[in-house]
Chains A and B, each alone.
Chain A
Amino acid sequence: MNTQTDAIESWLVERVVAYGKVDSGSFTPDTPLAELGLDSVYALTLCGDIEDEFDLDVDPTIVWDHPTIRELAGGLSERLAAA
């Protein structure tokens, strides 16, 4: 994993904790996002936060395509590299 993916992963962990559904330390980057309370409304919120943070327009279905923080960080890293 490269530095950028690491940074995105840390940022995603921070966002999930900020949404208040789970405590920090109670999950890993491989925990399914669905288990972290990321339902559709939070998935859309995360898309807005991704847009603000990375200037990247993503569709909420990215959460179904990349169902863990680790996979999502990898997917976002690839999109940023391609942008």
Chain B
Amino acid sequence: MIAHGRGAAFMETSEGVTASGVFWRMGDWTVATGVDEAHSAAGSGERSARAGALRRRRSAGRAWARDLVTSRLGAVWAGFAADAPGRKPRLLGDARIDVSIAHSASTLLVAVVAEGLVGADVEEEPFDVFDRVALIRRMCSADEQVRLERLPRTARRRALARAWTIKEATLKARGTGLSKDPRRVPTDALDRAIDDTASGPERAIVHFTVSGGCVVSFPARDDSSPDDELT
């Protein structure tokens, strides 16, 4: 664990590796870049402040990706390929290496893998967007909507946030993003209420392995990605 020690308002930056070999780093990108996100979007010059914050967030994500690729995978850094709007970043150099960068509010999650395809997603609390019927209809299949109705109302936001991160990470791993319908990505995240002691952002990493498997991990939450493997 890499602790920044700036108090409870700031998420510690943590690293780990999933059971299938995806290295990840998660934390507060505003701490990493010295940006106060809340302040950056207030007052005069709000537009340029927002644009500047987006640039710094992008830089932080790419810096973390570079660091993970070189320090954890031991690969030579060749840089990023040109951007494609709405698609995940691609690396130059070793084509076997894949990377995914996700963010929500001030939380940044970066995942890299030596082989296979990886997708990461994170959603910060309070998950209020998941109260919106229009979103539920567009992200959940008819069957998933039935299962959602069976959950206690108080458990639905987090369950939907988890389902979304799995669906989004899956589509990012495939490299399609939302050009493919998330309703067609099945998840069991709506089958039961998530432990109500769960707190913090919902996050998921999906790894399509070279052997054809699909491994879903929840960084810093499940047993497959212990921080202490790296520290």
Total A residues in contact with B, Cβ cutoff 8 Å:
29
A14 on the B face (CB < 8 A): no
Q: Which of A27, A45, A63 contacts B129 (CB 8 A)?
A: A45
Contacts of A61 in B (CB 8 A): 86, 177-179
CA distance A32 to B137 in the complex (A): 26
B210 on the A face (CB < 8 A): no
B123 on the A face (CB < 8 A): yes
B194 on the A face (CB < 8 A): no
CB pair B50 A35 closer than 8 Å: yes
Known: A26-B47, A35-B47, A40-B168. A59 touches B179 (CB 8 A): yes
- 15 further A-B contacts with Cβ under 8 Å, apart from A32-B51, A61-B86, are A27-B46, A35-B50, A40-B177, A41-B123, A45-B138, A48-B132, A48-B133, A48-B134, A48-B137, A48-B138, A52-B134, A59-B178, A61-B179, A64-B85, A67-B85
Task: Tell me the B residues contacting A by CB distance below 8 Å.
Answer: 41, 46-47, 50-51, 54, 85-86, 103-104, 123, 128-129, 132-135, 137-139, 164, 168, 177-179, 182
